[in-house]
Amino acid sequence: MYDILNQKELEILKEKEPQRFNYLAEGGAYLNLKGLKLKPIEEIKLEKIENLARIVRGLAFAAVEGIKSGHPGGSSSKVEQLLTLLFSGVLAFDPMTPKHPGRDRFVWSAGHCTPLHHAVLALIYNAIEQGGTKADKETLGFDLPVCLEKFRRCDGPSGHVESKYPLADASTGSSGHGFSCALALAMLQKTNGLDGKVFVLAGDAETEEGISYEARNTIVSMGGDNIIVSLDWNGFGIDGPITEVIPTPYLNHWFGLGWNVIEVDGHNALELATAYKKARLGFSAQGGSASGGGNGRPTAIVCHTIKGKEYGKLEGTADSHGTPASHQEYVEIMKKLGFDIPGVEGEVSEDIKVVLSSLTRDEIAYILERLEVNKKMIKPEAELLEKMKTALASRPLIDYRSIKRPKVLPPELVFKEGENTAIRKATEAFFKWLMGQSAFFYLGSDDLAKSTLTAAAENVYGLVNAKNPLGRGFRFGIAEPNMAMMSATLTQDILPGGFKAMSVFSTYGVFTSMMGNAVRMALINNAVNPAINGFFIMLAAHDGPETGEDGPTHQGLFWMALFDAYPGIKVYKPLDANEAVEMLFFALAKQEPVAFSVMRPNTPVFKRGAGAYGDYKVPEARSAVNGAYVFKPFSENGKKKVVLAVCAGQVMANILEILPDLEKEADIKIVAVTSPELFVELRRNDPERANEIFSDEDRKNVITIHNGWSGFLDPFILPADYEKRTLEIDKFLKSGPPAEVYKLAEFDPEGIKKQILKAIE
């Protein structure tokens, strides 16, 4: 027996059983190539790559000088990495068809390094042109020449990486998000029976970002062994050394998550090429060559580099990250690199010509030869399509764009009127049905599948992992940002045959704010690259105060404010289960991202048709796709006219309960609101129809009622009436059963009646 509080006994124990005091790190395979005497690789012409690196740095520095803005530090430290990737025969890529579906995908997780990105594109396409080949925008999808003198200007190359460019398959810039994008592109390959690789160019400071951890963890759990990260370990972020934030051994943050790790000198092309080839080949369980297919782990090639290499006095400093050199320093830097530039301040076009003119015939021939090798790695699209058909033999090879609403809905998508059914039951049934209609539908949850009810659809083909690579369900764990970024990016690629995936990712409405930046990045990608225009549904479950017992941490009252503001996504809030089904079919047809609200408890499935609730006709559930519809017209009882714009099914049920009392005081018209943004769109496209639903006269007499943020219904109310004519929940509530919480918020029937009567006094 040992007393572990006794230091002497601890020392005795350490001597007898030292293994109790030593933890051996467990992970993937590890290989250190730094300083190792390596055999030459025939295709790696070190002298040529060294000179091409000099040219690329000159182009990148000139681009930054032209606008006095950009990121020279990380761009300069990654030059050899990118050039070696291009020339070592590991990257399937054709610059003349840069978006060929058989290419390897490339993600700039270090999305700020556009001076390098655009400089390398300028190098490639200048060499192609000098080799006698012409290409136009229609062929490439972007303008030539790469006008580096217009860098970061509205009519020039972008300030952060955008996916419309070659060698870029995600729009990036927010630190760490690129790993999630890579996961999406890698899973799209694996889950469709394809073997394409995804290369990621990343910076070391990104490891600080929470989404980065989430993604690196999930890449391993999902079996993402087709991901290869070239990691620029230059030791600095923007503000200083990364050790100020990551004091523990840096490799632990990769190796400990189960990644293969290879260390190299990031400026040594031979070490880099050896590492890239090894990573593509894979590791056996023992760390040797993977003739048997590898150890099933992704690989991070950790490249020791100098930040701001060759960038004058800023070399090796954090300041090189985004600080342009002074004009005088710039001229000195360029001359030291061997470029006798004119050096006219504010004018770099001639400087760029000088840099490009140093490209020799032999170097052009070398570039073209290596690009041809990359091109030959791409398999024909027809062959890839056959491979997909074989892998997905039992599944319908159609995507969401071909799925239409049946004239007669399947019985599992029809909910009995007059009964109480949770709206989440409708989404559960719809997604399970949809999984059987398309081979390219994916969904997942943040450890809440049993509550958001995505499991039924996930279980059709099972969860994606190394043992089930053809699954369609994703288990993200409690990692909302990665879930959103990965799921959205999955929809922003095009598979052989032109197929596109769609995705659903789910959490509680209150937690969607944690996914805001990832959704924003995806929407930006849709905007800057309309050719890919991904369609996804963010399922915001447990909306409203219905999750009462959990208290304000789980009551979904204000979440929609963020997504209501973003362009390119609309918030849908169906009132009942049948409306949810109709709005989901509408979303499929519209193909625009949606934040879809569903309630937790059972709420009424409203009766439709004449006489359902009185002497008026309630429109069919399909009317919900207009964003608003007349649930009840005026009674024309001669009393003061009042319009109630009502959002949320439980609120509508409460109002119907008190309607007889309200009609004693006023002539009530009820407008059911399912998506203010859709209604604004209807007003723009079909003003006559919109006016029939909600006229300008109605606006003068309206009271908006939403069991959450009142701003959601702003399109229905005049600013002057805002304070008096909005019924909302504008504060955090307490824990309690939903009925009690509704009463506390004055949104129970009596509370709503009291507020309405006060508003119409």
Pairing of strands 603-604, 420-421: antiparallel
489 pLDDT higher than 80: yes
Give the separation between CA 117 and CA 475, rounded to whole angstroms. 34
Is 90 within 8 Å of 280 (Cβ atoms)? yes
**Which segments within 416-534 are labelled E, that is strand?**
420-421, 441-445, 473-475, 502-508
Position 452 pLDDT exceeds 60: yes
Q: What is the end-to-end Cα distance of the chain in Å, rounded?
A: 81
Burial class (CB in 10 A: 0-12, 13-18, 19+), 489: buried
Using CA atoms, how far residue 548 sits from 485, 737, 752, in Å, is 29, 5, 18
**Buried/exposed 155-185: b ≥16 CB within 10 Å, e otherwise:** ebbbbbbbbbbbbbbbbbbbbbbbbbbbbbb
In DSSP terms, 673 is beta-bridged to: 628
Distances (CA, A) of 561 to 565, 627, 709: 7, 17, 7
Tell me the C-alpha to C-alpha distance, in Å, between residue 17 and each of 3, 8, 21, 105.
15, 14, 8, 49
* pLDDT at site 293: 58
With 60 as the cut, is the pLDDT of residue 292 above it? no
Question: What is the layout of strands, in order, in the sheet containing 227-233?
Answer: 30-32, 260-265, 299-304, 227-233, 198-203, 105-108
Residue 307 is given by DSSP the state T
- Residue pair 524/533 in contact (Cβ under 8 Å)? The answer is no
Q: What is the pLDDT of residues 96-133, one digit of tens each?
A: 999 999 999 999 999 999 999 999 999 999 999 999 88
Confidence bin at 289 (pLDDT 50/70/90):
very low
| Ramachandran bin of 196, using left for φ above 0, alpha for ψ from -120 to 50, beta for the remaining angles | beta
> Does residue 495 have a pLDDT over 50?
yes
Residues 6 or more apart from 290 whose CB is under 8 A from it?
Answer: 281, 282, 283, 284
Percent of the chain residues past pLDDT 90, beyond the cut = 89
Which distant-in-sequence residues (6+ apart) come within 8 Å of 233 by Cβ?
204, 250, 266, 302, 303, 304, 305
pTM: 0.95
As a whole number, mean pLDDT of residues 8-20 equals 89
Spatial CA neighbour of 372 closest among 80, 87, 85:
87
CB 200 within 8 A of CB 206: no
pLDDT at 583: 98
pLDDT class for 25, splitting at 50, 70, 90? confident
pLDDT score at 733: 93
Burial of 350 (0-12, 13-18, 19+ CB in 10 A): middle
Residue 535: pLDDT band with limits 50, 70, 90: very high
* Cα 164 from chain centre: 16
Look up residue 424 and give its two tokens: 């989440």
716-736 mean pLDDT: 89
The average pLDDT across 227-248 equals: 93
- In terms of Cα–Cα distance, which of 452, 480, 412 is closest to 598? 452
Note the Cα 487 to chain centre separation in Å. Answer: 6
On the question of pLDDT at 5 being above 80, the answer is no
d(CA 60, CA 82): 13
CA distance 148 to 109: 21
The 3-class SS string of 451-483 reads: HHCCHHHHHHHCECECCECCCCEEECCCCHHHH
**Per-residue confidence at 291, pLDDT binned at 50, 70, 90?**
very low
In the block, tokens 């919480």 appear at: 741
Instruction: Examine the pLDDT at 285 and tell me if it is beyond 60.
Output: no
* Percent of the chain with pLDDT strictly greater than 70: 99
pLDDT at 254: 94
Neighbours of 402 (CB within 10 A): 12
CA distance 63 to 60: 5
The Cα–Cα gap between 104 and 186 comes to 10
Least confident of 15-19, 390-394, 406-410, 721-725: 721-725
Q: What is the rounded distance in angstroms from the CA atom of residue 269 to the CA atom of residue 44?
A: 7
C-alpha closest to that of 227 among 265, 264, 254, 256: 254
Distance of CA 321 to the CA centre of its chain: 25
Read off the pLDDT of each residue in 601-607 and give the average, rounded to a whole number.
95
Q: How far is the C-alpha of 313 from the C-alpha of 251, rounded, in Å?
A: 29
In this predicted model, what pLDDT tens digit does every residue of 458-471 receive, in sequence order?
999 999 999 999 99
Q: What is the mean pLDDT of residues 580-607?
A: 96
CA distance 417 to 433: 21
Give φ, ψ of 321 to 5 degrees: -55, -55
Cα–Cα distance measured from residue 260 to residue 28, given in angstroms and rounded to the nearest whole number: 4
Cα–Cα separations (whole angstroms), residue 479 to 131, 450, 581, 641: 49, 16, 28, 49
Per-chain mean pLDDT for the chain = 94
Q: What is the CA radius of gyration of the chain?
A: 30
Instruction: Classify residue 283 by its DSSP letter.
Output: B
Rounded Cα gap, residues 39 and 20, in angstroms: 42
Give me the sign of the Cα torsion angle 316, 317, 323, 324: negative
Cα-Cα-Cα-Cα dihedral of 475, 427, 492, 530, to 10°?
-160
Q: State the pLDDT confidence band at 260, using cuts at 50, 70 and 90.
A: very high
Residue 51 pLDDT exceeds 80: yes
446: its two tokens: 């943040």
3 pLDDT band, cuts 50/70/90, is confident
Instruction: Categorize the per-residue pLDDT at 288 as very low, low, confident or very high, splitting at 50, 70 and 90.
Output: very low
pLDDT at 63: 97
State yes or no: pLDDT of 222 exceeds 90: yes
Contacts of 490 (CB under 8 A, 6+ apart): 184, 185, 187, 188, 442, 501, 503, 534, 536
Quote the pLDDT of residue 144: 82
* pLDDT score for 2: 74
**Which of 196-200, 228-232, 236-240, 577-581 is least confident?**
236-240
Confidence check: pLDDT of 221 > 70 = yes
Distance CA 216, CA 207 (A): 9
Cis peptide before 145 (omega within 30 of 0): yes
